[in-house]
């Protein structure tokens, strides 16, 4: 209130802000309006809301609460800790606000923020300095959240693959686990075992050495030809097969004696035939298992390809539906544009018809143009006349100067002295005028301008808030003192009553009459205590009812404020719409006139 008494002049670029005094009542104070700062403020809140800090939408919160809360939220999203209590109060003093913001500024320095920010700038809500810091914090928090999301996604995928498997994979692992035991048994039974051992040194021919090695493990192998026989076959065109019996007779068993003393046995044709048949069956069984595994793998690949194709078909169907919807929307927009075009063409045609019929107006317009032409001619003649007058004056001055130069020296000296005296007088007058101007400028400079007045007002308001806080704190101390004093008084009364009861009890118990007096006195004391208790309870209920009424009034006022804000928003939207319509109407009129 004091600010309005001192600065009573209402400035056109100053608006009223709402504040609260120590008793909770609203106080209107002047605050300087800056269009750039207002735009930055709205842009800052929009950035915070777009980033996910929806607390900035609440109408009842102050701008300081939104800015500090948004900065703290962004810092926490960047995995930095800041010791800030987000439950702010409207009656914070300047020192408390600056101490609150200093913690955030220290964390910004640790985060290596490229923009400098001071605590008093946040406390003074200087959005020209706050806006780039909020932009950097939001961008950093979004990048950090994206990186953290990717990291959590990779961790989740790894945990999924570690702790979960598809049913088909489980079935395949079960089959492999069951088949591995059988495969190991088959490998142990049908594995290569050395049945014979050569006693003679092998020949130089590679084919003969290979076949002899296969025969040692019970495999006769294909019928090969030696190198000499191949050469003879090339020369003569015929070859002889190697005699299997001759090689079998040169082999002996390798199982009976491991020290080198082994018995020599011969492999008869029936045993050799059984061995070859057994090997053929085992080979056929292994080929069958390999074909089954190959078929299973091919089936898995086909199933995976089928699933991938189904996903592609679903995605293409979804894209097709989106394209159809977009096509419908585009068709609808095209129809709307065509309707608007037809409407504008009709209006243009109507305006043209009106212009064709409006001959008198055209005549009036031509007459006005002719009048303008006559006025221009008159102004031209006047200008020429003024030029002639100036030319005559200049010619007269030239003649005077020529006449002056034709005079003698004494006359010229007298004339120069007169002109110098006149020049001095003019200089004195000019100096006097300059002194007056300087005095007026000093007086104007002594008057504070709007910026200084706004700064003084803000400082006075901050001091007023600090004094209000101190007053509220002192008031709370007084209330606490009164409460403790009342408590002390009640305790003293209680102690006095107890002492009197003890004294009266000892005296009253000596006789029946004294006992009755003691009982009556005790009952009167109890009644007095109950009446005092009822008074205190009644006062407590009254204060509680007053608190509830004030809360209801506060809620109703907040609801009314929300309704006012909604109405202002709707009115602003309708005003913008009206301006757009007026602009369209003006453009249509300009096109029709042209």
CB 262 within 8 A of CB 256: yes
The answer, yes or no, to whether residue 231 has pLDDT greater than 70, is no
Residue 419 has pLDDT above 90, yes or no: no
Q: Which two tokens stand for residue 457?
A: 């007002």
Share of the chain above pLDDT 90, in %: 17
Position 181 confidence tier, pLDDT thresholds 50, 70, 90: confident
As a whole number, mean pLDDT of residues 525-550 equals 90
Q: Where are the beta strands (DSSP E) in 1-141?
A: 14-20, 26-32
**Helix pair 450-508, 512-593: axis angle to 10 deg:** 160
The reported pLDDT for the residue numbered 91 is: 56
Q: pLDDT band for position 506 (50/70/90)? A: confident
- 533, pLDDT greater than 80: yes
Q: What is the average pLDDT score of the chain?
A: 78
- Could you give the C-alpha distances from 588 to 190, 338, 576, 593, 594, in angstroms and in order? 98, 17, 18, 9, 10
Residue-level length of the chain: 594
Percent of the chain at pLDDT > 70 equals 78
Looking at residue 294, what is its pLDDT?
A: 79
Predicted confidence (pLDDT) per residue in 238-288, tens digit: 444 444 445 444 544 444 443 443 334 445 677 777 777 776 776 777 777
At 257 the pLDDT is: 43
Distances (CA, A) of 511 to 53, 83, 499, 507: 81, 72, 20, 8
CA distance 486 to 482: 6
Single pTM value for the model: 0.30
The mean pLDDT value for 363-369 works out to 76
pLDDT for 344 equals 87
pLDDT grade for 364, boundaries at 50, 70 and 90:
confident
Strand 196-198 relative to strand 14-20: parallel, antiparallel, unpaired? unpaired
Q: What digits encode the pLDDT tens for the residues 445-457?
A: 888 888 888 888 8
- Distance between CA atoms of 368 and 361, rounded to whole angstroms? 11
Query: Is the confidence at residue 404, as pLDDT, over 50?
Result: yes
């Amino acid at each position: 209130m004091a600010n309005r008494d001192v600065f009573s002049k209402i400035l056109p670029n100053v608006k009223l802000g709402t504040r609260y005094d120590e008793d909770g009542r609203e106080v209107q104070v002047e605050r300087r309006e800056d269009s750039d700062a207002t735009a930055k403020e709205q842009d800052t809140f929009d950035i915070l809301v777009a980033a996910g800090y929806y607390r900035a939408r609440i109408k009842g919160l102050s701008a300081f609460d939104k800015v500090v809360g948004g900065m703290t939220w962004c810092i926490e999203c960047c995995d930095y800790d800041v010791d800030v209590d987000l439950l702010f109060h409207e009656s914070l003093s300047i020192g408390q606000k600056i101490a609150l913001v200093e913690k955030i500024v220290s964390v910004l320095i640790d985060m290596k923020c490229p923009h400098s920010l001071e605590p008093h700038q946040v406390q003074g809500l200087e959005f020209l300095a706050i806006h780039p810091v909020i932009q950097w914090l939001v961008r950093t928090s979004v990048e950090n959240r994206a990186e953290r999301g990717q990291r959590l996604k990779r961790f989740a995928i790894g945990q999924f693959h570690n702790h979960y498997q598809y049913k088909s994979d489980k079935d395949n692992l079960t089959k492999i686990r069951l088949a591995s035991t059988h495969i190991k048994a088959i490998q142990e039974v049908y594995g290569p075992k050395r049945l014979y051992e050569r006693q003679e040194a092998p020949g130089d021919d590679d084919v003969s050495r290979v076949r002899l090695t296969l025969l040692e493990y019970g495999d006769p192998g294909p019928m090969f030809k030696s190198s000499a026989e191949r050469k003879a076959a090339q020369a003569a065109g015929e070859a002889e097969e190697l005699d299997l019996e001759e090689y079998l007779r040169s082999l002996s068993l390798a199982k009976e004696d491991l020290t080198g003393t082994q018995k020599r046995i011969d492999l008869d044709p029936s045993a050799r035939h059984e061995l070859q048949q057994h090997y053929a069956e085992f080979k056929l069984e292994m080929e069958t298992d390999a074909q089954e595994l190959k078929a299973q793998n091919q089936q898995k690949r086909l199933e995976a390809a089928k699933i991938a194709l189904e996903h592609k078909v679903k995605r293409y169907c979804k894209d097709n539906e989106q394209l159809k919807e977009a096509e419908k929307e585009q068709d609808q927009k095209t129809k709307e544009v065509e309707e608007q075009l037809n409407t504008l063409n009709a209006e243009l045609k109507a305006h043209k018809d009106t212009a064709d019929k409006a001959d008198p107006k055209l005549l009036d317009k031509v007459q006005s143009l002719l009048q303008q032409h006559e006025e221009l001619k008159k102004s031209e003649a006047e200008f020429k006349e003024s030029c002639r007058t100036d030319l005559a004056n200049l010619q007269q001055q030239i003649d005077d100067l020529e006449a002056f130069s034709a005079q003698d020296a004494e006359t010229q000296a007298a004339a120069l002295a007169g002109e110098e005296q006149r020049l001095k007088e003019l200089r004195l007058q000019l100096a006097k005028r300059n002194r007056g101007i300087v005095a007026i400028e000093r007086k104007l400079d002594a008057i504070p301008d709007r910026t200084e007045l706004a700064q003084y007002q803000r400082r006075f308001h901050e001091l007023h808030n600090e004094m209000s806080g101190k007053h509220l704190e002192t008031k709370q101390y007084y209330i606490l003192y009164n409460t403790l004093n009342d408590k002390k008084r009640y305790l003293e009364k209680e102690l006095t009553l107890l002492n009197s009861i003890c004294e009266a009890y000892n005296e009253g118990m000596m006789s029946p009459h004294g006992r009755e007096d003691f009982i009556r006195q005790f009952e009167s004391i109890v009644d007095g205590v109950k009446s005092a208790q009822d008074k205190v309870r009644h006062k407590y209920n009254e204060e509680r009812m007053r608190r509830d009424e004030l809360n209801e009034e506060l809620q109703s006022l907040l609801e009314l404020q929300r309704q006012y804000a909604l109405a202002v928003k709707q009115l602003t939207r309708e005003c913008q719409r009206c301006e757009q319509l007026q602009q369209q109407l003006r453009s249509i009129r300009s096109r029709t006139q042209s």
